[in-house]
Amino acid sequence: MTNENTAEPTGFAKLGITGNLLKATHAAGFDTPKPVQMQAIPAHLAGRDVLAVAQTGSGKTAAFSLPILTKIVGLGTKRSPKSARALILAPTRELAVQIEETIRALSKGLHVSTALVLGGVSRFSQVKKMAPGVDVLIATPGRLTDLVREGEINLSETRWLVLDEADRMLDMGFIHDVRRLAKATHKDRQTALFSATMPAEIETLARTIMKDPVHIEVAPQGTTAAEIKQSVVLARVKQKRHVLSAMLADEAMRQVIVFARTKHGADRVTRDLERDGFDAAVIHGNKSQNARQKALNGFRDGSVRILVATDIAARGIDVPGISHVVNYELPDEAESYVHRIGRTGRNGADGIAITLCDPGENAKLRQVERIIRMKLPIAADHLGQPDPKPEPRTAERRTHERGPKEHSEGARNGHRNGGNRPRGEEKPRERTAKKPFAGKPAGDRPGNGKPFRGKRRSFGGRKPAQAA
Ligand code: AMP
């Protein structure tokens, strides 16, 4: 905390974190600030908006949480009903849960109240938790939009807003919800936006909702953590199952996350692994929140060695000991590759990422290489070998061989990716949807300084979307 010779503050103290928050930060095991924290914390404490390009695993959660907690801690416990002093928006439930866990650890003993508002679980307890008002609300955009529209949550006193993994919120079709929710917060709010990549739409969003932000880029766009050893294994689609099972026979693959492109594909890989004698859990958007959490907990506590996941479900998975990431299929969006492999090599640990590539996926591989600015070495080439003997054809295998007519998870109708929404995920809003906060007298609109307390209205004759 201080340098003994000079009594100069060091570490987080040097960045402006003090008192009990500093103690809690150390107790949480954070002693030396990471680059994103070194840049974002002083800027945020100085009252500036922050626009950060930060990789997954870079330490961004503490980078936005610590300055907000610093400001909230002094405010006392008097809060308006249904209000939130700070709002953190995240694309997935898993990431939101993880952010809340980090904030609780960082504010231990400081009497900071938090609430989680997520789709896929009962809204009753969320409404109850929000009733007296909270310090920090962590939410996914769909459910929060519903509860604001129904008058259960009032954001007009929210003075700190964070958009985490903003590029992912864009990919999931939440951008309009995010824009409206930002508008519903206090007009003098301070905003921080964190994104692993900075597509043009995010830059536009930042320009419209932020004031003269400080730009932070801790690693060039698309750079992968240096500690991750990456390679490609060339294998035809029909060979992939056997190649994967042969790889997994090596016990050096201690804890493995296998990425599939679609929910259907993830289920199929899991079934094939089980047939080949491996225990594997699966996590994707069609699974209930309980099933997802159970799979994740098993993976976290080490009782599950292999987790098969789709891109969306894997967002926010922060399991320190993942030794290997296997891309069973290349992602549709090259940027997802960076997120996927960022699940390993976390926090300075070594990690290995192996990508199985069918000749039909070569174009996607080239795109990935362009984004990460390196050519991936080929660790093995199975293309010259014959395909394994097919199993007896069951109805299920026939469907598999025809190939799933499924878009990658997260691809949406009406969105730049087109495609289907995973059931159980938050429902993204259509571009044509009426504004949820429209139809109120100007003075009652959020952002005009008055609480958002209009009478409950079904929105355009439509019942508010029930997320899952
Ligand atoms: P994040 O990018 O926020 O998901 O953080 C990635 C990982 O780094 C998490 O496991 C954090 O607990 C950990 N972490 C973040 N900041 C620090 C720090 N200053 N010192 C040690 N670990 C950290």
Supply the pLDDT for residue 33. Answer: 93
For residues 355 and 345, is the Cβ–Cβ distance under 8 A? no
Atom of ligand 1 nearest to the CA of 56: 2
For residues 79 and 134, is the Cβ–Cβ distance under 8 A? yes
Supply the pLDDT for residue 399. Answer: 47
- Residue 301 domain flag: yes
- Residue 336 domain flag: yes
Asked if 187 and 259 sit in the same domain, the reply is: no
**Pocket test residue of 25, 31, 61, 195 for ligand 1, highest count of atoms within 8 A of CB:** 61
Task: Tell me the mean pLDDT in the region 386-394.
Answer: 70
Q: Which of 241, 276, 275, 242 is nearest to 260 (CA)?
A: 241
**Pick from 106-120, 148-162, 195-209: least confident:** 195-209
Q: Is 60 a pocket residue for ligand 1 (Cβ < 6 Å)?
A: yes
- Residue 222 domain flag: no
Q: pLDDT band at 94, cuts 50/70/90? A: confident
- We report the CATH number of the domain holding residue 352 as 3.40.50.300
58 alpha carbon – ligand 1 mean position (Å): 7
342 alpha carbon – ligand 1 mean position (Å): 13
| pLDDT tens-place string over residues 392-401 | 555 554 444 4
For residues 305 and 165, is the Cβ–Cβ distance under 8 A? no
| Mean of all residue pLDDT scores within the chain | 82
377 alpha carbon – ligand 1 mean position (Å): 29
| pLDDT tens-place string over residues 216-253 | 987 655 556 667 899 999 999 999 999 999 999 998 89
341 alpha carbon – ligand 1 mean position (Å): 16
Tell which of 374, 402, 430 closes a domain: 402
The DSSP output letter for 186 is -
Tell which of 373, 402, 431 closes a domain: 402
Give the number of other CB atoms < 10 A from CB of residue 293: 17
Domain that holds residue 110: 11-217
Asked if 208 and 339 sit in the same domain, the reply is: no
Q: Which of 358, 316, 415, 344 is nearest to 101 (CA)?
A: 316
Phi, psi of 52 (to 5 degrees): -120, 130
End-to-end CA distance of the chain: 46
Q: Is 347 a pocket residue for ligand 1 (Cβ < 6 Å)?
A: yes
Output the CA–CA distances (angstroms, integers) from residue 214 to 11, 55, 69, 91, 307, in the order listed: 21, 17, 20, 23, 38
Atom of ligand 1 nearest to the CA of 28: 12
Asked if 199 and 243 sit in the same domain, the reply is: no
319 alpha carbon – ligand 1 mean position (Å): 11
Asked if 94 and 239 sit in the same domain, the reply is: no
Q: Which of 357, 96, 355, 148 is nearest to 237 (CA)?
A: 357
Task: Tell me the mean pLDDT in the region 108-133.
Answer: 94
- Residue 322 domain flag: yes
- Residue 407 domain flag: no
Asked if 374 and 240 sit in the same domain, the reply is: yes
12 alpha carbon – ligand 1 mean position (Å): 13
Exposure of 457 in the CB half-sphere (CA atoms within 13 A)? 14
Task: Tell me the mean pLDDT in the region 433-437.
Answer: 42
- Does residue 354 carry a pLDDT above 80? yes
452 alpha carbon – ligand 1 mean position (Å): 36
Q: Is 318 a pocket residue for ligand 1 (Cβ < 6 Å)?
A: yes
Q: Is 61 a pocket residue for ligand 1 (Cβ < 6 Å)?
A: yes
Asked if 315 and 173 sit in the same domain, the reply is: no
| pLDDT tens-place string over residues 291-308 | 888 898 899 888 999 999
Q: pLDDT band at 290, cuts 50/70/90? A: confident
Asked if 278 and 326 sit in the same domain, the reply is: yes
Task: Tell me the mean pLDDT in the region 3-8.
Answer: 54
- Does residue 425 carry a pLDDT above 60? no
Give the number of other CB atoms < 10 A from CB of residue 268: 21
Taken as a whole, the chain contains a residue count of 468
DSSP-assigned states of every residue in 87-133: EEE-SSHHHHHHHHHHHHHHTTTS---EEEE-TTS-SHHHHHHHTT-
The pair of structure tokens assigned to 338 is 């960076």
Number of domains in the chain: 2
Instruction: Give every CB contact of residue 176 below 8 A, 6+ residues apart in sequence.
Output: 429, 431, 433
- Residue 413 domain flag: no
Q: Is 59 a pocket residue for ligand 1 (Cβ < 6 Å)?
A: yes
**Pocket test residue of 318, 322, 344 for ligand 1, highest count of atoms within 8 A of CB:** 318
Measured in whole angstroms, how far is the alpha carbon of residue 377 from the centre of its chain? 29
Global pTM reads 0.63
Asked if 209 and 61 sit in the same domain, the reply is: yes
Asked if 78 and 146 sit in the same domain, the reply is: yes
The residue that leads in pLDDT, 393 or 169, is 169
Question: What SS3 class is residue 316?
Answer: coil
Q: Which of 81, 76, 143, 77 is nearest to 451 (CA)?
A: 81
Q: pLDDT band at 276, cuts 50/70/90? A: very high
**Nearest-angstrom CA–CA distance, 53 and 441:** 38
Q: pLDDT band at 462, cuts 50/70/90? A: very low
Q: pLDDT band at 348, cuts 50/70/90? A: low
The residue with tokens 């199975």 is: 382
- Residue 269 domain flag: yes
Question: In one letter, which amino acid is 295?
Answer: A
Of all protein residues, the one whose alpha carbon is nearest to atom 4 of ligand 1 is 57
Supply the pLDDT for residue 143. Answer: 96
Supply the pLDDT for residue 334. Answer: 83
Tell which of 217, 238, 272 closes a domain: 217
Supply the pLDDT for residue 220. Answer: 53
Of all protein residues, the one whose alpha carbon is nearest to atom 18 of ligand 1 is 30
The pair of structure tokens assigned to 173 is 């079709």
Of all protein residues, the one whose alpha carbon is nearest to atom 6 of ligand 1 is 57
- Residue 393 domain flag: yes
Highest mean pLDDT among 234-248, 273-287, 397-411: 234-248
Asked if 211 and 292 sit in the same domain, the reply is: no
Q: pLDDT band at 409, cuts 50/70/90? A: low
For residues 376 and 334, is the Cβ–Cβ distance under 8 A? no
Cα dihedral sign, 62-167-162-213: positive
Asked if 206 and 248 sit in the same domain, the reply is: no
- Does residue 444 carry a pLDDT above 70? no
**Nearest-angstrom CA–CA distance, 187 and 272:** 53
Q: Which of 397, 376, 409 is nearest to 282 (CA)?
A: 409
- Does residue 147 carry a pLDDT above 90? yes
Of all protein residues, the one whose alpha carbon is nearest to atom 5 of ligand 1 is 59
**Pocket test residue of 108, 216, 347 for ligand 1, highest count of atoms within 8 A of CB:** 347
For residues 132 and 79, is the Cβ–Cβ distance under 8 A? yes
Give the number of other CB atoms < 10 A from CB of residue 300: 17
Asked if 63 and 87 sit in the same domain, the reply is: yes
**Pick from 73-82, 106-115, 207-216, 276-285: least confident:** 73-82
The residue with tokens 């950060």 is: 52
Q: Is 346 a pocket residue for ligand 1 (Cβ < 6 Å)?
A: yes
Q: Is 55 a pocket residue for ligand 1 (Cβ < 6 Å)?
A: no
